[in-house]
A and B are shown apart, each in its own frame.
Chain A
């Protein structure tokens, strides 16, 4: 596969390390009352969609960017690649 890195252009997927669903960005707040339940769902449960999926790839043999790649799990077609940092910020994550 080829991932079109937002900063570096098209790179072979073999340069990257895969983590999983981009929902792993949404780490719960440990201070909430049902934190245990939230962390369980966050870490263990997956939509595992057959179709378009947003997922985390890490450019380990490159610039060490974490990317959010939108990829179809039926066809492997990649429709969007973003810096995970930008995605995280856009989702309200900060400090």
Chain B
């Protein structure tokens, strides 16, 4: 069913009885050309682009829970392409361009809202680093503006310009950054993939890999064995657990990132604001909730929940830079498991096992990458070679000494 304003009026006048399911609930077939493990944002996007861009539709997406139940369902909805290093920036800018046409492409309103993202800076060295980054963005075809204090004041008059412990000296502004209704991204991709014949199989957990003589031929699941010519893993925080079924150890640790939302408020925060020096970032949802977060808790965990020190640390950061939010109430805190890589950058790559592919290591930045990740993973699965914007996102880059370390903190995942 094609969604449109006309369709809404038609259905509204007939009691909303004619809507049909956004996706089927198919039984798994015995074999597929490609199995994607994980019906999160990246897995569903991969399926969608495989079908739409490469005409490959004999595809199953296996999901242990409900589709969209991973980090696509519990992030802070930010999109941006403000990276610095040549291995990253063209990839994230591809993602941004895909976001910009996504809703019309998959006929689903994901409420993509390019209200801008502002990174605040508080010192000369920070501003120098922002300048380096802003130039890298512009050289890759993205947009960036370096703001001085007055420029920041014009954008966000409610910030603390008089009494902040770390005075605001300026910021890096990406106007095309913003937010997206995160669940809708999963639903739009799922609906588009399903429509083109992809089987999305929920409540189907992969419990083993079929590997014969170094060739992956399928998976074992809670709903039986399913064969495939290619198996594409795309499970974010569960990456190490799934790849260990294939006997692989990864340059990844799983950590929890907490996020927070306040009660609904009339508009008060323009765009996305990040206060790196105080471990705090914030935006406001269309429904009025302040959506905010900070650093990961910092210890390995698979529990999708965090602890109080981080909660308080994040709120301290918030009050340090915008003391007018003190009387807003935090409504809900939640945690997602992040696949923190050893340099803070992701992987989209083949593995040493023929037919087994890996997509992961997104750290806490996977949401913004969803379209490009799907696009590039589909490209790799369909053509056998990496997409031109993802040539550096290789598993062997540590062995070769080709790290893509934006923050410069080295092989310690909890610092990225």
Contact = CB atoms under 8 A, between A and B. Distances in A.
Q: Do any beta carbons of A and B sit within 8 angstroms of each other in the complex?
A: yes
B252 A48 contact: yes
B342 A55 contact: no
A74 B252 contact: no
Interface in A57-75: 71, 73-75
A1 B227 CA distance: 44
Given A13-B309, A18-B414, A40-B399, A48 B303 contact: no
Given A1-B307, A73-B300, A20 B414 contact: yes
Contacts of A55: 299-300
B228 to A, nearest CB: 25
B241 interface: yes
Interface in B334-358: 342
B398 A18 contact: no
B240 interface: yes
Interface string A16-50: 00111100000000000000010011011111111
B65 to A, nearest CB: 16
A87 interface: no
A46 B412 contact: no
B412 A48 contact: no
Contacts, number: 70
A84 interface: no
Interface string B378-416: 000000000000000000001100000000000111100
B250 interface: yes
A45 B300 contact: no
Contacts of A47: 240, 244, 249
A75 B412 contact: no
B342 A44 contact: yes
**Which of B240, B254, B302, B398 has most A Cβ within 10 Å?**
B302
B303 A20 contact: no
Q: Bin the interface of chain A by size.
A: 20 to 34
B288 interface: no
A93 interface: no
A34 B299 CA distance: 31
B251 A46 contact: yes
B208 to A, nearest CB: 16
A78 to B, nearest CB: 11
B411 A76 contact: no
**Which of A13, A45, A46, A49 has most B Cβ within 10 Å?**
A46
B253 interface: yes
Contacts of A49: 240
Contact of B303 (A44, A53, A76): A76
B28 interface: no
A47 B241 CA distance: 9
A44 B254 contact: no
A42 to B, nearest CB: 10
Nearest to B300: A73
B304 to A, nearest CB: 10
A49 B243 CA distance: 12
Interface string B236-252: 00001100100001111
A44 B250 CA distance: 8
B217 interface: no
**Which of A14, A21, A73, A76 has most B Cβ within 10 Å?**
A73
Given A1-B307, A40-B398, A20 B254 contact: no
Nearest to B341: A44
Contact of B302 (A18, A40, A41, A73): A73
A73 B398 contact: no
Contact of A45 (B250, B299, B302, B412): B250
B264 interface: no
Contact of B252 (A18, A46, A53, A71): A46
Q: Which 10 A-B pairs have CB atoms at the shortest separation, nearest pair first?
A: A48-B240, A14-B309, A45-B249, A44-B251, A44-B398, A50-B302, A18-B299, A18-B298, A73-B301, A43-B411
14 contacts: A13-B299, A18-B299, A20-B412, A20-B413, A43-B398, A45-B251, A46-B249, A46-B251, A47-B249, A48-B241, A50-B241, A50-B302, A53-B300, A73-B300
Given A20-B300, A40-B399, A48-B240, 4 more contacts: A13-B307, A20-B412, A50-B254, A71-B299
